[in-house]
Structure 1
Amino acid sequence: MKDLKNEKTLAAKEAVKYLSNGQIIGLGSGSSAYIAIAEIGELVKQGLDIKGVPTSEKTRELAESLNIPLLKIEEVDSIDMTIDGADEFTEDLQLIKGGGSFLLKEKVVASLSKAEIIITDSTKKVEFLGKFTVPIEVIPYAQNYVLAQLEKLNGTGKIRLVDGKPLITEQGNLLIDGDFGLIQDPVLLADELIRVVGVVEHGLFINIATRVIMGVDGGTLTFEK
């Protein structure tokens, strides 16, 4: 049986080797990213001089508890490198992200980054994206319109619930989990989704990742374009 936490830890340890003094580092959200943040916290304790940009309140709280100096997204013009996780990835580095509901901040930080390093366990690599649903952040009053438009894109959608109530993102929006089956053309779907009125952002990360480090068999595999 695979030890997925160990695989994530191996990937995180490999990713932080790219850190150096003076960098601004994007800090992702989710189980893999939190392992990396713990590794970064240890390096800061040992004297590494970096500043972090968190992608969620939970990330901010964790980083602060580890004494990682932080900047707000709006305080930076560019980010040297971001370390984050993914729900799925393909060998050509297309991703689905947003399972943890923080996709909007994650994509803004990723877009500001000169390098986006994704760390995962070995279950996240797929031939085609789509087994994991595509998170879509929507303005609340547009939810019914967006759901109807997904059907025109040969998909279906469900409002994400927590304890029986719609999940509200940190930006005050709703999340729709879109199911399009296995996605043959994620570039096209990403373009179609962002054109739907009421969609704020979606979890297809297209041509954003520069490197995926996957833990596997007691080591790591790195995928690059």
Structure 2
Amino acid sequence: MASMALDFIRDGDIVGLGTGRAATAFVRALGQAVKAGLRVTAVSTSQVTAALATQLGIPLATLDEVSHIDVTFDGADEVDPRLDLIKGYGGALVREKIVAASSRRLIILVGAEKLVPVLGSRGILPVEIVPFGLPLCRRRLTELGCRPAVREHDGQPFVTDNGNYILDCSISPLSDPAAFEQAILGVPGVVGTGLFIGMADTVLVQDGDTVTVQQRRDP
């Protein structure tokens, strides 16, 4: 699937690089293409991905240094029939959303197991928060019907590349994801959610040896 995704890149493109297992496979494929002569400049969504891209010889730039991003490749944790997403199990949701919003096209790479009938089917929505706001955010998110838990790493709160915490919110399937996101964003201290509504243009789905392409259909 990663090699198939390369077909969406033109020589000279500015390419956004996601974070997570699917994105890592893509970055490795892109590194091979760059070594073979493909010219690109990449913008990374995380320090981990940036380190891998540097190791593979992929030229990197920051958002300050580019006028746009032609296409971003990333994974997702849930994809519904409208191609709306839940992301953030890898912890880079806010930077991923910023890069996606800066892109002319967002292409998502997933296995068939990530397809869900309704967002929230896997039961977890990551929400990035400012550490100072933890008590308030935890209380307000509970009032919204979430059951928030601070994500941990080695017994300590997981800290994002932005210096923030993530609350993994236990949720039920969402009847109105956009409205739910707006309610969460109204809580002081919330930086962003893992809901990516109306952002993905194309989803490549791998099921065994078969890869299918799904395109967003605007209403």
Distance between the aligned counterparts of 1:101 and 1:120, measured in 2?
17
Please tell me whether the aligned partners of residues 159 and 166 of structure 1 are also in contact (alpha carbons under 8 angstroms): yes
**Equivalent AA in structure 1 for residue 31 of structure 2:** G
Q: 1:132 and 1:154, CA in 2 relative to 1: closer, same or farther beyond 3 A? A: closer
State the percentage of identical aligned residues: 36
**Is structure 2 residue 37 aligned with structure 1 residue 43?**
no
For the residues of structure 2 that align with 1:95 and 1:113, how far apart are their CA atoms?
16
Q: Find out whether 1:188 has 2:179 as its counterpart.
A: yes
- Give the secondary structure class of the aligned counterpart of 2:149: strand
Map 1:1-20; keep pairs closer than 5 Å: 10=1, 12-20=2-10
Structure 2 length-normalised TM: 0.95
1:158 to 137, 149, 156: 149
| Post-superposition offset of 1:182 | 1.1
- The match for 1:89 among 62, 71, 79 is 79
Alignment-mate amino acid for residue 94 of structure 1: D
Corresponding residue of 1:79: 69
Report the equivalent of 1:129.
119
Kept after mapping to 1: 8 A contact 2:123/2:171: no
| Equivalent residue in structure 1 for 2:138, among 132, 141, 147 | 147
Deviation sequence 1:179-202 (CA, Å, 0-9, x none): 221111111111111111100111
Count of aligned pairs: 215
Q: Is the 8 A contact 1:82 1:113 kept in 2?
A: yes
Q: Structure 1: which 4+ aligned runs deviate by more than 2 Å?
A: none
Separation (CA, whole Å) in 1 of partners of 2:5 and 2:186:
34
Q: Cα offset for 1:77?
A: 2.9
CA shift, 1:74, in A, is: 2.5
1:185-221 per-residue CA deviation (whole Å, 9 max, x = no partner) reads 1111111111111001111011111111010131111
Contact 2:72 2:107 in 1 (8 A): yes
User: 1:223 is aligned with what amino acid?
Assistant: Q
- 1:45-124 equivalence runs, <5 A: 45-124=35-114
Matched residues in 2 for 1:77 and 1:189: separation? Answer: 32
Report the TM-score when normalising by structure 1.
Answer: 0.93
Counterpart of 1:28, as a letter, is G
Q: How does 1:165-180 map to 2 (within 5 A)?
A: 165-180=156-171
- Contiguous gaps of at least 5 residues in structure 1: 1-9
Secondary structure of the structure 1 residue equivalent to 2:161: coil
Q: Give the aligned residue type for 1:157.
A: P
RMSD: 1.0
2-structure distance, mates of 1:132, 1:181? 6
Structure 1 residue 132: Cα displacement: 4.1
- Residue in 2 that maps onto 1:205: 196
Q: What amino acid sits opposite 1:93 in the alignment?
A: L
Unmatched tracts of structure 2, length 5 or more: none
Q: CA deviation at 1:128?
A: 1.0
